[in-house]
Amino acid sequence: MSDINVVPYIDVMLVLLIIFMITAPLVTQGVRVELPKTDAREIPPPDKEPAIITVDAKGEYYVNFGERQDHPIALAALAARVLAMKKYRPDVIVLVKGDTNVPYGRVVELMGYLGAAGVTGVGLITEPPPKG
């Protein structure tokens, strides 16, 4: 009488489960911001991943590419990083994700630095208002 030994398969399944449990929180990165709500026209998602620069409620800047994405970055270093990215990906789309409570001047200051880094068009990320 021959039976299939399933113990090795269970071991492999448990190892994969542990790996997925560890890596799943690492995949969802980003800085928590409360986006402004507006009835803006929704644009289709770009083909390539855009560069997203976040301004949180404290007025600190974060970028979604390069090292230490969850740490604040100075404006001069941010402009240098965007300039380096534009060298390798000249067609990159740059989006700004600003918290609704951040002073307007911080976002304008960021856009000035982006313009100095050679970014010609910047998109602003918002959320649709609640229905009702």
| pLDDT tens-digit readout, 13-38 | 999 999 888 877 666 555 565 656 66
Query: What would the pLDDT profile of 56-85 be if each residue is shown by its tens digit?
Result: 888 888 888 777 777 888 888 888 888 888
Domain 51-124: assigned CATH number: 3.30.420.270
Domain boundaries, the chain: 51-124
Alpha helix (H) residue ranges in the chain = 7-27, 75-88, 104-116
Q: Which residues contact 127 (CB under 8 A, 6 or more apart)?
A: 35, 36, 37, 38
> Does this model's pTM top 0.85?
no
**72-76 long-range CB contacts below 8 Å, 24 or more apart?**
75/109, 75/110, 75/113, 76/113
CB 62 within 8 A of CB 72: yes
Query: What would the pLDDT profile of 113-130 be if each residue is shown by its tens digit?
Result: 888 877 777 887 777 777
